[in-house]
Amino acid sequence: MNGHLKELEERIDYQFKNQNLFSQALTHSSYANEHRLDHNRCNERLEFLGDAVLEIVTSDFLYHKYESLPEGDLTKIRASIVCEPTLAYCAGDIRLGDYLLLGKGEDATGGRCRNSVVSDAMEALIGAIYLDGGFANAKEFIHHFILNDIEHKQLFYDSKTILQEMVQSRQAEALSYEILKEEGPDHNKSFEVCAKIGDTEIGRGMGRTKKAAEQVAAYNGILKLRALDTLADAE
């Protein structure tokens, strides 16, 4: 087996019996097209399956974790977990982008860091584990790598909204975001952004888009404000 793939198996603590499924989960359509492979050799069908498995496992988890929440609130929380940015965040934890098979053009334009690409691959990996090892193994993977630390992931997903509400509740100066740095060609840019209350910086973030960088900056801003609140309460 490819040592590169063995490394990922160790990272996710799951060993595939069918290595073809594993490889397919990591094969982007751009790679399949470039190498004239049958389109069914890319990860899109596995992504379709993994999406369904992820939704049922997440729904079951939330149903039992939040016994008093109404359907509308459960739906909102589930949406924040299975959405593209959160799945991409989870994929980053296992460095999934490093292992993807991409076409040269997709790779050159930052595909390994693109939320849509890595979040789709995360769902494809779930689908592959489900076919290879059954529902229990897929469920274990989802619980370990997606439903872990759920409060922080919700916080990350809603960071800009939550930070805005925190600033308003403090009756502080206006919240704003400032681009500190913009690097790279148009097809592969990197942004550094800071979140500010008035003229005071409270958090920084980097991302492939301004929106992504703002989300990280907002998340770091929330953590800083919470830390300041904790210090104030201790005094």
153 is a domain residue: no
> Are residues 102 and 180 located together in one domain of the fold?
no
Model pLDDT, residue 3: 66
Contacts of 42 (CB under 8 A, 6+ apart): 24, 27, 28, 29, 31, 32
**Exposed, middle or buried by CB within 10 Å (0-12, 13-18, 19+), for 235?**
exposed
Q: Distance between CA atoms of 135 and 129, rounded to whole angstroms? A: 8
154 is a domain residue: no
> Are residues 17 and 39 located together in one domain of the fold?
yes
139 is a domain residue: yes
Q: Distance between CA atoms of 5 and 22, rounded to whole angstroms? A: 8
Model pLDDT, residue 2: 62
Print pLDDT tens along the chain (235 aa): 566 889 999 999 999 999 999 999 999 999 999 998 888 899 999 999 999 999 999 999 999 999 999 999 999 889 888 988 889 889 999 999 999 999 999 888 888 988 889 999 999 999 999 999 999 999 999 999 999 988 888 788 789 999 999 999 988 799 999 999 998 777 767 889 999 999 999 999 888 788 888 988 999 999 999 998 888 777 6
Strand order across the 175-183 sheet:
175-183, 190-197, 200-207
> Are residues 44 and 135 located together in one domain of the fold?
yes
Asked whether 110 and 11 are in contact (CB, 8 A), the reply is no
| 120, 148, 176 - which closes a domain | 148
> Are residues 142 and 181 located together in one domain of the fold?
no
> Are residues 140 and 228 located together in one domain of the fold?
no
Q: Angle at the Cα of 99 (from 95 to 105), degrees rounded to 5?
A: 110
Model pLDDT, residue 233: 78
pTM over 0.75: yes
Q: Distance between CA atoms of 14 and 10, rounded to whole angstroms? A: 7
Model pLDDT, residue 47: 97
Model pLDDT, residue 57: 98
8 is a domain residue: yes
Total domain count for the chain?
2
Q: Distance between CA atoms of 81 and 59, rounded to whole angstroms? A: 10
| 112, 128, 148 - which closes a domain | 148
Parallel, antiparallel or unpaired: strands 175-183 and 190-197:
antiparallel
CA dihedral 168, 171, 174, 180 (to 10 degrees): -80
Please give the structure tokens belonging to residue 129.
């584990």
Model pLDDT, residue 58: 97
> Are residues 134 and 169 located together in one domain of the fold?
no
Distances 161 to 69, 155, 209 between C-alpha atoms, Å:
21, 9, 18
| 103, 125, 148 - which closes a domain | 148
H or E, element range at 101: none
> Are residues 144 and 164 located together in one domain of the fold?
no
Q: Angle at the Cα of 208 (from 225 to 88), degrees rounded to 5?
A: 75
> Are residues 115 and 12 located together in one domain of the fold?
yes
- Active-site residue set: 51, 123
User: Which residue, among 2, 218, 230, 216, has the nearest Cα to 88 in the 3D structure?
Assistant: 216
Model pLDDT, residue 225: 93
Which CATH number is 117's domain given?
1.10.1520.10
27 is a domain residue: yes
Q: Distance between CA atoms of 123 and 115, rounded to whole angstroms? A: 12
Task: Look up the domain containing 195 and give its range.
Answer: 159-234
> Are residues 188 and 115 located together in one domain of the fold?
no
> Are residues 67 and 99 located together in one domain of the fold?
yes
Which CATH number is 209's domain given?
3.30.160.20
